[in-house]
Amino acid sequence: MSTQLFDLTGKRALITGSSQGIGFALARGLAAAGASIVLNGRDVTKLNAAADSLRAEGVTVDVLAFDATDHEGVRAAVDGFEAKTGAIDILVNNAGMQHRTALEDFPADAFERLLQTNVASVFHVGQACARHMIKRGAGKIVNIASVQTALARPGIAPYTATKGAVANLTKGMATDWARHGLQCNALAPGYFDTPLNAALVADPEFSAWLANRTPAQRWGNVEELVGACIFLTSAASSFVNGTTVYVDGGITASL
């Protein structure tokens, strides 16, 4: 009975930005729990390579290429997939970017790109999928937040702002859509060894600082996000709504 709560057999999950890094790890993890997978990104070559990798492991995979910042393009892609292939039961809004510059020198165009990629995409894809989920009276949406949802660090103030917005947009989704049978929550990774953090991982001084700052005393491995994501996308979280779950080695719990 307890394991059935986490069984995703028969469910289909769309993960944005899933050709590499956290998105790909979550796609593989949800597949291991029984879900069929829809990979998304803008680079079709990278998407197809990621899809082939999962298919080699026996995973049922579709590829849905679209730009998550393009409202009309997102709507057309999601509506077309639902009509032609079938229901998207789970959405993981993972697409995101980073730009590191001191706030006083931060370029305005980079700030706008961060807003579009990290916040607007959550709205665009969330709304497109929710329209169908609402009709069915069920759906799971997980928005990828960050340790920066709660904390700030020099050089990434606009990123911090976007991830704070993701948490509040998640609350808004839950407030509007829980009545329709949807559970909308956020998953907030701490510092993980991903392509987005490659420059920091390669910096011995930063890695030493991180080990001293984090109670777990290390970088996270992307596979360590999978359990929380399965919880938030399965029947186990049927009355969990509008919350942000931190998977961060304890960094938000300590001074």
Instruction: DSSP for 76-92, please give it.
Output: HHHHHHHHHT----EEE
Q: Decide: 189 and 144 in contact? Cβ < 8 Å.
A: yes
Q: How far apart are alpha carbons 153 and 146 in whole angstroms?
A: 12
Q: Give residue 196's pLDDT.
A: 78
Q: What is the count of structural domains for the chain?
A: 1
Q: How does pLDDT run across 178-228, given as a tens digit for each residue?
A: 999 999 999 999 999 988 788 899 999 999 999 999 999 999 999 999 999
Catalytic residue among 81, 123, 159, 231: 159
Q: How does pLDDT run across 16-30, given as a tens digit for each residue?
A: 999 999 999 999 999
Q: Is it the case that residue 162 has pLDDT exceeding 60?
A: yes
254 in a structural domain: no
Q: How far apart are alpha carbons 22 and 27 in whole angstroms?
A: 9
Of 1-10, 44-53, 140-149, 152-161, least confident by mean pLDDT is 1-10
More confident residue, 3 or 160: 160
The pair of three-digit structure tokens given for residue 84, joined into one six-digit string: 């032609």
Q: Is it the case that residue 174 has pLDDT exceeding 90?
A: yes
176 in a structural domain: yes
255 in a structural domain: no
235 in a structural domain: yes
Grouping H, G, I as helix, E, B as strand and the rest as coil, residue 42 is: coil
Q: Is it the case that residue 44 has pLDDT exceeding 90?
A: yes
Domain ranges, residue 202: 3-247
27 in a structural domain: yes
- Report the CATH number that the domain containing residue 186 is assigned in CATH: 3.40.50.720
253 in a structural domain: no
Q: Long-range pairs for 114-117 at CB < 8 Å and ≥24 separation?
A: 114/158, 114/159, 114/162, 115/158, 115/162, 116/69, 117/68, 117/69
105 in a structural domain: yes
159 included as an active-site residue: yes
Of 2-6, 160-164, 177-181, 228-232, least confident by mean pLDDT is 2-6
196 in a structural domain: yes
132, 240, 33, 187: CA torsion to nearest 10: 90
Residues of the chain with pLDDT > 70: what percent?
Answer: 100
Q: How does pLDDT run across 54-110, given as a tens digit for each residue?
A: 999 999 999 999 999 999 999 999 999 999 999 999 999 999 999 999 999 999 999
Read off the DSSP letter of residue 33.
T
Q: Is it the case that residue 1 has pLDDT exceeding 60?
A: no
Burial status of residue 128 (CB atoms within 10 A of its CB: 0-12, 13-18, 19 or more): buried
Instruction: Calculate the average pLDDT of the chain.
Output: 97
